[in-house]
Copies of this chain bind each other. A is one copy, B any other.
């Protein structure tokens, strides 16, 4: 009915009977981890028992508790999706005017600002981390700047120490788009302990997911409360309001999915670690053509993505052509760089590092079902064989 884009619709059927082991079967950039159906059905029993489908039900509360334990944080809030989570963060922090942001992220990082009428100000990225270059932030600060909204790309932490020193100096708020950064530690502490608010996406295609969903971590208890009422229309009891909010509630149906997926997280991460290792083994010899990213010093890896950097866009497009013939569908994630998405709204900019990375980066197929055979096929295509 509607056009389905890889950008959005990177889930698909993925069942390969053993006897077809040697057949090529379409291989997409990712697929959702689905727990055994009976585990999900068992979780649903709570809904039929309580009669409650949404509005901060038992399953949402339980999942928040279990996520606090898993992520070693004091408090968190489940929301309807990561995009709504960014909007809630912007409003809870009362941002206005300009917000410094990154050109290298998913569209939602930028569009959440534009949706709410804020002015994004792009700062180029660091060519190693692929996150905002803190040495370039200060020159972008004006009297209208209220915050920094930046992304831990592929779960690779921003230089939070440098960013927060600047934020403190200029009295700016900091929101981390931690959409990719579930279960990442940095400098010996959980990454969401950085900044004012971190938003972790729990979309179906994410490492840990609830189908649709998001998680907000606001470390300050008062800010946590601000986010909490913003997600439920601003209600203060029945007949009064703290302020203007939206409906960003997660339902029990999604929380039930999250509880099931969480039970499998150790196995999911271990499988992905092995897949990434196998990709590395097969691709490290091709450094004239593709570059693998070195881990960020001091950060743990969650293996949410396996990006490779081609030496040029021409080489990337050539590899994609080979893959397409093989029914392999990697993803140009992220392309275009965000300052090129809505030039009529954000103006023309030259951000050479982000442009160069966006033109050359490709995320290879990686999911819980990725097999040795898949890895071989993909690596061969990347290597142009």
Contacts and interface: CB of A to CB of B under 8 A. Distances in A.
Interface of A: 1-9, 11-15, 31-32, 34, 37, 40-41, 44-45, 47-56, 61, 64, 80-84, 87, 91, 107-108, 111-112, 114-117, 203-204, 209, 211-212, 228, 232-235, 237-241, 243-247, 249, 251-254, 257, 331-332, 335-336, 341-342, 345
A109 to B, nearest CB: 11
Contacts of A117: 116-117
Nearest to A333: B238
* In the A-B complex, the 5 residue pairs with the closest CB atoms: A83-B247, A53-B204, A9-B55, A253-B253, A53-B211
Contacts of A246: 83-84, 87, 108, 111-112, 115
Contact of A211 (B91, B244, B251, B342): B251
A190 B49 CA distance: 36
A6 B238 contact: yes
A31 B8 contact: no
Given A115-B244, A257-B253, A34 B48 contact: yes
A107 B332 contact: no
Contacts of A84: 80, 84, 246-247
10 contacts: A2-B56, A3-B237, A13-B50, A34-B47, A37-B41, A84-B84, A116-B116, A239-B332, A241-B341, A241-B342
* Chain copies in the assembled complex: 2
A211 B7 contact: no
Contact of A253 (B50, B239, B243, B254): B254
A32 B14 contact: no
B336 A239 contact: yes
Contacts of A13: 49-52
Contacts of A3: 237
A381 to B, nearest CB: 18
Contacts of A341: 241
Given A53-B11, A111-B234, A247-B84, A335 B239 contact: yes
Nearest to A245: B111
A128 to B, nearest CB: 25
A56 B4 contact: yes
A52 B11 contact: yes
Contacts of A53: 11, 32, 34, 204, 209, 211-212, 257
A31 B51 CA distance: 7
A5 B235 contact: yes
Contacts of A212: 53-54, 80, 247, 249, 251
A49 B15 CA distance: 9
A314 B141 CA distance: 56
Given A12-B51, A34-B47, A44-B40, A7 B238 contact: yes
